[in-house]
């Protein structure tokens, strides 16, 4: 029994002699907190002091963070000299509580001291007056910037000014709508003319008020609104007029815009229809366009400078009423270019060679179709598909006769040259130069240009907003053209202004078309085309010539069951439909 006790004691002594203390002196390292100096500013801390330790300290780090347990903290190198230490950390947040400790390398072990804390200072914001921009003689923009909020939210910032120096918020001031940091701009108005002013930025937080540097600026002479005169309205038509205007005085600042504004209300302003005509003083004229017939308008001149907008007196005028359409025309007006309107013929153009006779088709939806294959000089029937420029006048083309079926496109050059349009030279290459239905003088009708076709379908303004719609009339496919003053109360139409719509979008009887026609609607049937003496696509596609050409080809309007184009290129020898118009201005 005694032997066992002795053995156990020896084992304990032996095992105890094998365990080694990693750093028996760690507990002897001590920061003398009563001697530590902590100095803070808005964004910096400097710490210095003395530590007590008899051994060597290889390295010391300053562990700093905003978490009380120093999670996510950063380490900074500490300067050591004998038993003293010092460290400085910049770019801190003002008014913020920080926690710190020291990480000490004692060679055989690392020692972390107890966690302590400090708070950076809070102060007034730091603000800068960046610059002054004189907009005109009595208006100034002041650009400023809050560089630092001082550790506390900036609750107010702005500018203050006076005319004797060192302005404060007790003088005139303008507070910016929002607090915070960063750049901001204040507009100073209602200043006195020919005066020296002093201005500077300011910013406030709960810690105090601070100012930027003082800048000086000088105002000029007082600026007034321009003096403008509405002289008269001249050249009134159904849809256009001209307003004569005059800027009598620029108000002391450059006229940056002048023009006229008009409306059917009796007090027009620049929020209504306007037309700007450059700047400067003196006389100028303004075209008034896209007006409605037989409508009273009110118009006045205006001019703008840095002070604002000056208006002339209001002048009223009444646009002309539409004239009666010519014989053979639809009773509706169509705008085909700015300030240009036309009447459309009731139906497509037709010709009979045996009697040398031109007419418009007797029915609104009529087209000849396959019988165009009988085209010949002695053919006694009617045809309605013509090669380009085949007006019947010897204008210079080889194939100028309406019955021409030659397939060489050079034979269809108007006036014998590739570049000529139908309306060039004598105008005789246009089918409309003929007497139609035995009535009227030569040249009364004409063919639309390619640009006019495009404007008609895609650009013009109409009272209803509707320009065209595809339709099927008594089984005849085609396109309805709606006049400028079309009323949707007459008839509801589906899929309007849609090139990709199908003909079945609007199925109607000839009686319905007659009603629409009485309200100015024109119908373009899908009459197909002729290539030599072969007729293609009658009833499914429409090809209508324009008076324009490009290179070796003519331009035209074409459509089928799911498309519509106003810039189609067509071989000039191809026979296409012709729809004539007459200019409203001619009457």
DSSP codes, 354-396: GGTEEEE-SSTT---GGGGGG--TT--SEE--B-TT--SS-SS
Per-residue 3-state assignment (H helix, E strand, C coil) for 440-505:
CCCCCCEECCHHHHHHHHHCCCCCCCCCEEEEEECCEEEEEECCCCCCCCCCCCCCCCCCCCCHHH
Q: Does the pTM of the predicted model rise above 0.85?
A: no
Supply the pLDDT for residue 117: 96
What percent helix, strand, coil does the chain show, rounded to 5? 10, 40, 45
Task: Report in angstroms the alpha-carbon separations of 271 from 261, 262, 268, 275, 379.
Answer: 8, 9, 8, 11, 62
Confirm whether 126-218 and 227-318 share one CATH topology.
yes
Burial of 287 (0-12, 13-18, 19+ CB in 10 A): middle
* Average pLDDT along the chain, 587 residues, taken 10 residues at a time: 38 39 63 94 92 90 96 96 95 90 89 93 90 81 93 92 94 92 92 92 92 92 89 84 93 91 92 85 90 88 91 91 83 90 96 97 96 97 98 97 94 96 96 92 94 97 91 97 87 96 96 92 98 97 98 96 96 98 77
CATH of domain 26-119: 2.60.40.10
Supply the pLDDT for residue 585: 67
Supply the pLDDT for residue 26: 59
b (16+ CB within 10 A) / e for 432-470 = bbbebeeeeeeebbbbbbbbbbbbbbeebebebebbbbb
Supply the pLDDT for residue 252: 84
Asked: is 227-318 a CATH 3.40.190.10 domain? The reply is: no
Supply the pLDDT for residue 8: 36
Instruction: Go through the chain and tell me how many residues it has.
Output: 587
Supply the pLDDT for residue 398: 96
Residue with tokens 């025309």: 329
In CATH, which superfamily holds the domain spanning 126-218? Immunoglobulins (2.60.40.10)
The residue extents of the domains of the chain are 26-119, 126-218, 227-318, 329-453+527-586
């Amino acid at each position: 029994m005694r032997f066992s006790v002795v053995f156990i004691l020896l084992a304990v002594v032996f095992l105890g002699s094998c365990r080694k203390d990693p750093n028996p002196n760690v507990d002897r390292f001590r920061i003398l907190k009563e001697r530590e100096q902590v100095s803070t500013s808005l964004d910096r801390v400097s710490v210095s002091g003395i530590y007590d330790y008899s051994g060597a300290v290889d390295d010391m780090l300053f562990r700093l963070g905003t978490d009380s347990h120093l999670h996510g903290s950063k380490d900074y190198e500490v300067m050591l000299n004998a038993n003293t230490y010092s460290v400085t950390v910049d770019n801190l947040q003002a008014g913020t509580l920080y926690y710190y400790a020291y990480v000490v390398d004692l060679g055989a072990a690392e020692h972390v001291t107890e966690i302590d804390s400090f708070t950076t200072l809070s102060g007034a914001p730091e603000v800068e007056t960046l610059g002054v921009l004189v907009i005109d003689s009595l208006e100034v923009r002041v650009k400023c910037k809050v560089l630092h909020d001082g550790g506390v939210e900036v609750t107010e910032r702005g500018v203050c000014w006076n005319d004797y120096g060192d302005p404060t918020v007790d003088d005139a001031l303008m507070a910016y709508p929002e607090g915070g940091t960063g750049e901001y701009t204040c507009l100073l108005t209602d200043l006195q003319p020919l005066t020296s002013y002093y201005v500077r930025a300011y910013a406030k937080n709960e810690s105090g008020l601070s100012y930027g540097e003082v800048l000086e600026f000088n105002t000029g002479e007082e600026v007034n609104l321009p003096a403008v005169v509405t002289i008269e309205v001249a050249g009134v038509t159904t849809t256009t007029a001209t307003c004569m205007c005059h800027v009598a005085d620029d108000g002391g600042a450059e006229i940056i815009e002048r023009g006229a504004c008009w409306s059917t209300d009796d007090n027009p302003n620049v929020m209504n229809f306007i037309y700007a005509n450059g700047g400067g003083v003196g006389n100028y004229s303004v075209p008034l366009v896209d007006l409605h017939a037989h409508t009273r308008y009110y118009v006045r001149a205006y001019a703008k400078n840095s002070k604002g907008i000056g208006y002339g007196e209001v002048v009223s005028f009444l646009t002309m009423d539409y004239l009666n359409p010519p014989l053979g025309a639809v009773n509706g007006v169509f705008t085909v270019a700015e300030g240009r309107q036309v009447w459309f013929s009731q139906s497509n153009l037709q010709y009979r060679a045996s009697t040398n006779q031109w007419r418009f088709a007797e029915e609104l939806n009529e087209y000849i179709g396959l019988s165009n294959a009988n085209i010949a000089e002695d053919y006694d029937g009617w045809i309605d598909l013509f090669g380009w420029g085949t007006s019947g006048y010897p204008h210079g083309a080889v194939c100028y006769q309406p019955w021409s079926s030659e397939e060489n496109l050079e034979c269809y050059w108007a006036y014998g040259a590739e570049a000529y349009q139908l309306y060039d030279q004598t105008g005789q290459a246009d089918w409309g130069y003929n007497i139609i239905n035995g009535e009227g003088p030569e040249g009364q009708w004409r063919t639309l240009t390619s640009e006019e076709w495009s404007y008609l379908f895609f650009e013009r303004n109409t009272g209803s907003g509707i320009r065209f719609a595809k339709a099927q009339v008594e089984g005849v496919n085609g396109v309805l053209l709606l006049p400028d003053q079309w009323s949707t109360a007459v008839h509801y139409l589906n899929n309007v202004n849609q090139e990709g719509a199908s003909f079945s979008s609007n199925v109607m009887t000839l009686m319905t078309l007659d009603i629409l026609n009485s309200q100015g609607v024109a119908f373009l049937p899908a009459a197909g085309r002729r290539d030599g003496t072969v007729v293609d696509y009658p009833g499914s596609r429409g090809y209508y010539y324009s008076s324009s050409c490009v290179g070796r080809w003519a331009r035209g309007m074409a459509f089928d069951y799911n498309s519509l184009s106003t810039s189609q290129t067509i071989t000039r020898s191809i026979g296409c439909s012709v729809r004539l118009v007459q200019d409203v201005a001619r009457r």
